[in-house]
A and B are shown apart, each in its own frame.
Chain A
Amino acid sequence: MIKQFLAVLRNDFKAVFRSKQYLILLGSLLLYSFYINFIYSQGDIPGYQVYVYDALTQSGSAAEITQVNSEQGLYDMLNMDREAIGVVKSKSGSKIIYNDTGSPRLNNLKYYYAWQATGRESADYNTQILGSITQSEQKRIEMTSVVVFFEITAISFLSIAALFFKEKQMGIIKVYSILPVKKSMLVLSKIVVFLVLKICFVLLMGLLNLDIAYFQQIVLKVMTQILVLSPLMVLLGFMCSLQYRNFKQFVFAYTVIIVAFTSPVFLFVNTQLNWRGIRYFPTYHLYNNLRQVFFNRATPSAGYYLVCGATLIILYLINLKMINREMKRS
């Protein structure tokens, strides 16, 4: 029994290595890490640039203020840098000019921003930092969680289908249907193969992009989530590839899944945009829990694991049924 399973497993590993999928995985890993380390984590938003045209004195001032030579020059700068604010000082008083932001509140803030930047004394106030994560660390963790989720949901899905259609093409499914191999083994071995690949991927992602000491704290919790996510996606991908006749159909169905279920989740979880409807997306809960774990926050409730477990079992049973049907057909 175990020997048989190991043989199936070895065969699947070989198939993955032959199709060079691990190379694609490594390539994307390097690309993602490069992006996170050198571009995304550096993305601070500086304050608004303030351009001043002073008709009375042409004196220099603070660093964030740029003096311009004419009123027209100031309007030109505002047309180029839409976020910037212009200040014109003349005998009759000063005038603050800016592009409409679309929000009266932001407009008011811009007005006061320019007002304060041009030499007013700022108020005396205290700030207190509550969190322990700096901006750069926050961005690293955030993007790492996005990449891991994207890789596991979107890419696992494609990889499993690629593997399956290749097997179908090579006639392996036909061979299995005459051999006395348990059908459950075929499904289980796929799950194990992709789980191993994804665990390696997550470990490397964490080591390359996160602080090592921090990664040690969260690694076990993250792995628990991967143990839920990866099999879920493999089962779904397997089901879809059994469902569709050829790969062309599969790819188009896949695009719908990516566009409709994955992209909105990233948008609404990681930005200030709010939309209640997002809670009805199953992917929202999966991603949100992974993200919480990456930020070392509350771990998901028992109810969440219960639902995931039930879904896994149902998907597994559907897969068994479908693979039996497929074998009968071939």
Chain B
Amino acid sequence: MLDILKLQLKNSLRDKIIVLSICLPVVVALVLKFYVPSVIVLEPQLAVVEGNLAGEQLEQLRELAQIEQYPTVADLKARVLNNTDEVIGVVYDNESSKYNFFLEGNETTLTHKLTAVMASVLSGNASSDPAESEILTANHDQMISLIIAITMMMALYLGSTFIIFTMVSEKEEGIAVLNQIMPISPTQYAVQKIILGFLGTVVITFVIGFMLFSSGKLVYLLPFLTIAAAYVSIIGLVVGSLAPDLVVAIITTKVVLLVLIFVPIIAFIMPPNLEHIKAFFNLIPSYPIFDGIIAISNGSNLTRILPNILIMVAHIAAGYGFYFAVLRPGGRFYSSK
């Protein structure tokens, strides 16, 4: 076993480009560790016309939103129409003595409601009848968690791609035919194929974990990542067994990339009113991994990530069963040249 591992390691290290790309997630993690602010929050943005609002009201608004000043109303309108963000324009109309809010028309309901709140504050309604307030400390680094999780997914994706391409290039070189004749059991064969990819993935994700997570979270994170690495290794094994040649492997890699990196992001940015649909994402490999990493990064406990672990184990069992039933060397769907 150790000999095989040594041989495979030697073979892979020879390819400098692959070594470099596998280190990419670690580089991203390093950049994240030193250059990203601890919190990314999107605050509401307001555009006002210089000299239109009284100084006192401007101060009030500054406590609620980021303020940009523009020389004329026309400039302000042009800014509002820039549609990559939701800037709202505020102009006080002296004739009707009312505040005019300029919207683009594609704002969310929340933005409309916040506009009404700001209007109330501006009109001085809010200063009467004040209430006490209590701010609960909460983890609010949603964006940071997302970026960390994507970095992890990238490392996992590279791990499974590594296995797929090792298997397919063996098929191309004709070694796969040898494997069919050699007296090894399907399980031994599977372990031989995935062991290097699995260990590599574990090492890379652990390194990223040590860099980006606080030590308290590592207790949950490290076992979780080990299962996740086994999981992507099984994905690699199944795809690698299914693909007869490089061209098919490329196309499936595209699908694996989409599934591993983009599907979870879609689930993440889904509006909260579609919560029930998220359950279906658990059918897709990768969502339980992604969700678990986000949960651990938010400081959740074992009960929160336990369902994710169970779903992953179920996926691993199903994937391995599928491999054992039809994909093993000599099996019905094992394709080689």
Contact = CB atoms under 8 A, between A and B. Distances in A.
Asked if A pairs with B, the answer is: yes
Interface of A: 19-21, 24, 35, 39, 42-48, 75, 78, 81-83, 87, 93-109, 111-113, 115-116, 120-135, 137-139, 155, 158, 161-162, 165-166, 169, 244, 246-249, 251-253, 255-256, 258-259, 263, 269-273, 295
Given A95-B132, A105-B63, A132 B246 contact: no
Contact of A100 (B84, B99, B140): B140
A123 B119 contact: yes
Given A99-B140, A124-B123, A248-B165, A137 B106 contact: yes
B103 A128 contact: yes
A103 B43 contact: yes
A126 B83 contact: no
Interface string B262-279: 000010011111100100
A188 B40 CA distance: 46
Given A93-B131, A130-B103, A249-B15, A295 B83 contact: yes
B137 interface: yes
Contacts of A128: 100-103
Nearest to B99: A125
A310 to B, nearest CB: 28
A109 B250 contact: no
Given A105-B43, A105-B66, A162-B250, A120 B120 contact: yes
B68 interface: no
Contacts of B274: 39, 42-43
B104 A244 contact: no
A237 to B, nearest CB: 12
Nearest to B42: A272
B239 to A, nearest CB: 13
Given A105-B44, A255-B157, A97 B136 contact: yes
A103 B42 CA distance: 8
Interface stretch (B109-117, B199-207, B214-222, B319-327): B109-117
A82 to B, nearest CB: 6
B99 A112 contact: no
B15 to A, nearest CB: 7
Given A101-B140, A115-B126, A253 B81 contact: no
Contacts of B100: 125-128
A83 B81 CA distance: 28
Given A39-B270, A82-B138, A256-B21, A158 B109 contact: no
A112 B121 contact: yes
A154 B76 CA distance: 37
A75 B137 CA distance: 12
A158 B249 CA distance: 11
B136 A126 contact: no
Interface of B: 15, 17-18, 20-22, 24, 28, 39-45, 63-66, 77, 80-81, 83-86, 93, 96, 98-111, 113-123, 125-126, 129, 131-138, 140-141, 150, 154, 157-158, 161, 165, 169, 245-247, 249-251, 253-254, 257, 266, 269-274, 277
Contact of B247 (A113, A126, A165, A246): A165
Contacts of B115: 127
Contact of A107 (B135, B161, B165, B271): B135
B90 to A, nearest CB: 9
B117 A113 contact: yes
Contacts of B122: 123, 125
Contacts of A251: 161, 165, 250, 253
B77 A130 contact: yes
B251 A258 contact: no
B254 A155 contact: yes
B157 A109 contact: no
- Most A-side CB within 10 Å, residue of B140, B150, B245, B247: B247
A169 B246 contact: yes
A1 B307 CA distance: 65
A29 to B, nearest CB: 13
B102 A259 contact: no
Nearest to A133: B106
B281 to A, nearest CB: 11
A161 B254 CA distance: 12
Contacts of A113: 113-114, 117
A165 B335 CA distance: 20
B246 A112 contact: no
Contacts of A20: 251
A247 B165 CA distance: 9
A252 B17 contact: yes
- Most A-side CB within 10 Å, residue of B83, B119, B132, B140: B83
B102 A130 contact: yes
Contact of A131 (B84, B96, B104, B251): B104
Given A45-B108, A96-B133, A106-B43, 12 more contacts: A96-B132, A100-B135, A100-B136, A105-B44, A107-B135, A111-B133, A116-B116, A125-B100, A138-B83, A248-B15, A249-B18, A255-B21
B322 to A, nearest CB: 21
Closest 4 A/B residue pairs (Cβ): A252-B21, A123-B123, A102-B140, A99-B138
B278 to A, nearest CB: 11
A129 B22 CA distance: 50
A262 to B, nearest CB: 11
Given A128-B103, A130-B102, A166-B247, A47 B44 contact: no
Nearest to B245: A169
A272 B100 CA distance: 23
